[in-house]
A and B are shown apart, each in its own frame.
Chain A
């Protein structure tokens, strides 16, 4: 743990300017992840900028029939909102599948998607990690990989010493739901405001696993917009984990089923919330019987790379995620027919 300065700017613009001018500055919102990282030495900022009171804590209806969620809205508030529960059950379910009541009371809309991987090696500063310390190598490859990625992993695999190697997963449940809902992220940065499609917010490890998102230093999420779903659409989130509560996903599925369309996003399988667009394409316009969904997932998973490991590896995620998608779509379809 290292000392840092603490700032409470008057507004979001000042917060952005403050962080932008200090290379080792970070924003603090709910703190449910950052404070852990401060203690563990994973985060070593010189300046912590408190933005908890600087963005909206309102959920408002938008002109197109969607919702705008202020970045300071807590996960608890969002999950409890009647409009969210009625129009976007996938999001309410995802929020309630994450963390605990105490954590959800603190965690925010802007902060939750920016939480960092729970890779045990990322969190242990005594081990090499390309995400935490670029170029140091990857301890996860060949290690404890149960919670690690099978999709979108870096091309350097399985070389643990390559600077590109990273098999971390993104831990957020909420983010998987936002990915399937085609949410838009409102960002304020040193160069002004911009909008980022949620599906493009998070990165694959590529050649720089240390970067989780496309946000530039100093950019602050101010709101997240949800476009309306097609009329009659059904949505659900299903999270499969090692215990019934308070555990990160082994795999998770956010699904939207509408007339002639199935949308799927997967959690626990990649460095980012994984929009299963190949499977969606395979299912477009056709029937959504179990066999068709299973086939679509086979298409989606053709590039999957199961990881060996000291605890038996994570090859089980391939059948598990397929079975979970099939069951989730089946439930939604039967719901629609009923």
Chain B
């Protein structure tokens, strides 16, 4: 009887979350799949067209271009984010002065608190070809810097660099993982004469590998959904060189009012992220150390 009561009480407590999930996540999620099989604009009732939207998507140059651009951000941006976040965390972990560590941790984390739009605008100003601080500095060094965001070659890498401002969360997660590395193992390796680099590769990396995997996957998912930075800075240009999958979905839904097509693109994006995540899990499955378990 008591267990039954506890169950009811528990269900009542979690019900707001369950209702919220069902109404605002699950329902739109499945409904959007139905819409992806229809010709639908906000006024007319959806007309079922089967997989026609998907078939058109595969023939759409712009979809492929946006996929390629997004893959560029994922392939170049994610490893770079993780390397920098881990490097900062290792650097901070090695600091002996607690105060300095805390202060630097706060500084590196600070951009997370600033809205992405604001950071994008600041980055735009910093890279302004005429009065931006970066170009002023490069000119001072005698270099001839380009107009970064008007160049089809430079626009994408510059957005990748902007995203480095948002590695604070990953860095903090790495930092806490580094604190969890057993001291006795590290000390034993020191006694055995292992160099710091060897210790890092052979002890630290395996010990924090589950956290690395988590950060890596979260970053992949986040980067596949990159929208704010290119939308604010370049609007997808120049020559669509920064046009991403989420911009493709947004423009089809809200500019072209083609909700069915946009839903199909959203589901394809979901499928791509899903496959990428599974692939990363599969590739890393034998290289992640879960504390004695295989």
The finding on whether chains A and B are genuine partners in a shared complex, rather than unrelated, reads no
Partner-A contacts on B (CB < 8 A):
none
